[in-house]
Amino acid sequence: MKSETMRGKVVLITGATSGIGKATAVELADMGATVVIIGRDLDKGKRVTEEIASATGNQAIDFIKCDLASLDEVKKAASEFMSRYQHLDVLIDNAGGVNGKRKVTIDGYEYTFGVNHLAHFLLTDLLLDLLKASAPSRIVVVSSAAHTGGHIDFEDLMREKRYGAFTAYSQSKLANALFAFELARRLEGTGVTANAVHPGGVRTNFGKGLGRGGRALFNVVSVFMISAKKGAQTSIYLASSPEVANVTGRYFAKRRVKEPSPESKDEVVARRLWEVSEQLTKRWLS
């Protein structure tokens, strides 16, 4: 391990069996953190935990199986984490994707919105008491610059009337930003910070849900994209740096505060989204 700056810290990362999430997990493990990764493939999860342990010399790497398209599994994952660990210092809501054609989660929600936003809303809510008890602690929500092209369409949140891959994705990334900022307001005074991140245009398997044509275009564009390791740097910074220990409710890109979209700062929209998200997940919150 090259550093001990995160020794004694417990970090939970969603979508950390590949891409940005895995790169984030490797770096934080290398800093000495106990890293728990969430992924839907058990075999892959076990393999990745072994890879990270071997690469960093840190044996405190754990895996919890969870398909974020199932809120039953999200609730089970939160319970499993709390049964294994008594504190949580950093939660990184990282997993995300995009789909060329509309499909729904196990619970009947539009897949992009369900996985990118609702699953993380539920997971974070279920872990909030532990995060507060572990304060000072941090929540990092991986959004995207795509949020600037997004709009929360409360009349067609599940995109049943009209679906477009970018429209659904940008809405979900705007939801991520709104969620992070509303979290920061609700957690004021608790010692828990919440910030949103744009990782940059990153070469990962992100475009696999776009269909053949979309994947081909993504592969062409990916030549100009940055590596997952570079894309993970802002999440790592927010998770570990003492410079941002007390910074909350901000949007970061390239480890610097950036101005998010006007709608992402709309507190009325944020409160309404929170209320709607609570209604959609209330069965699992009780």
**Is there a domain that residue 85 lies in?**
yes
Is 251 inside any structural domain? yes
pLDDT at site 200? 81
Q: Which residues of the chain have pLDDT under 70?
A: 1-3, 201-226
Q: What is the DSSP letter of 147?
A: G
Inside any domain, residue 2? no
Contacts 24+ apart (CB under 8 A), 212-221: 213/100, 214/100, 214/165
Q: Answer positive or negative: Cα dihedral of 30, 63, 241, 8.
A: negative
Instruction: Answer whether residue 90 is part of any domain.
Output: yes
User: Phi first, then psi: what are they for 156, rounded to 5°?
Assistant: -150, 55
pLDDT in tens, 150-161: 999 999 999 999
Q: From the candidates 85, 111, 163, 169, give the one annotated as an active-site residue.
A: 169
Would residue 3 count as lying in a domain? Answer: no
Instruction: Work out how many domains the chain is built from and give that number.
Output: 1
In total, the chain counts a number of residues equal to 286
Average pLDDT of the chain to the nearest whole number: 92
- Listed in sequence order, the residues at least 6 apart from 138 whose beta carbon sits closer than 8 Å to its beta carbon are 89, 90, 91, 192, 193, 194, 195, 238, 239
CA–CA dist 49, 38 (Å, integer): 11
Does residue 1 belong to any structural domain of this protein?
A: no
Q: For the whole model, what pTM was predicted?
A: 0.92
Q: What burial class does residue 139 get, using C-beta atoms within 10 Å of its C-beta: 0-12 exposed, 13-18 middle, 19+ buried?
A: buried
Q: Which domain holds residue 183?
A: 10-285
CATH number where 105 lies: 3.40.50.720
Q: Can 169 be counted among the known catalytic residues? A: yes
Residue 5, in any domain of the structure: no
